[in-house]
Amino acid sequence: QLQASGGGLVQAGGTLRLSCAASGRTFSSYHVGWFSQAPGKEREFVAAINYSGTGTIYADSVKGRFTISRDNAKNTVYLQMNSLKPEDTAVYYCAASKIRLTLAATLYDSWGQGTLVTVSS
């Protein structure tokens, strides 16, 4: 089971750190991704990290602003969000995959409940 947290209201240019905590599974063997879904839009890939933390991929829209990391001892993956923009406003979901490091949502088999990020202009 995955639990996303850390969302909130922030002004443009601000920062937030999202956390994705896992329970009841061997988290260190799973690749983890973050996805966002804005109102009325499709779910989009944001970032992902491989099981060991040695590999990451990012959507072009967040490269240089967001950083994904993990602490397997704490069963937690983080998404550091800097230089936030109003267009980053969305519900952010974390998800786990045992298949491979990927941006394809269909390859993630376990999803958290989402945390809302609102960026005001």
Q: How high is the pLDDT of residue 25? A: 60
pLDDT of residue 23: 85
Per residue in 5-60, pLDDT (tens digit) is 999 999 999 999 999 999 866 788 999 999 999 999 999 999 999 999 999 999 99
CB 94 within 8 A of CB 20: yes
pLDDT score, position 84: 98
- For residue 79, the model assigns a pLDDT of 98
For residue 16, the model assigns a pLDDT of 98
- For 61-116, the pLDDT digits (tens) are 999 999 999 999 999 999 999 999 999 999 999 999 999 999 999 999 889 899 99
Query: Hey, how many other C-beta atoms are within 10 angstroms of the C-beta on 119?
Result: 20
Tell me, what's the pLDDT at 87?
Answer: 96
**Residue 11: how many other CB atoms lie within 10 Å:** 10
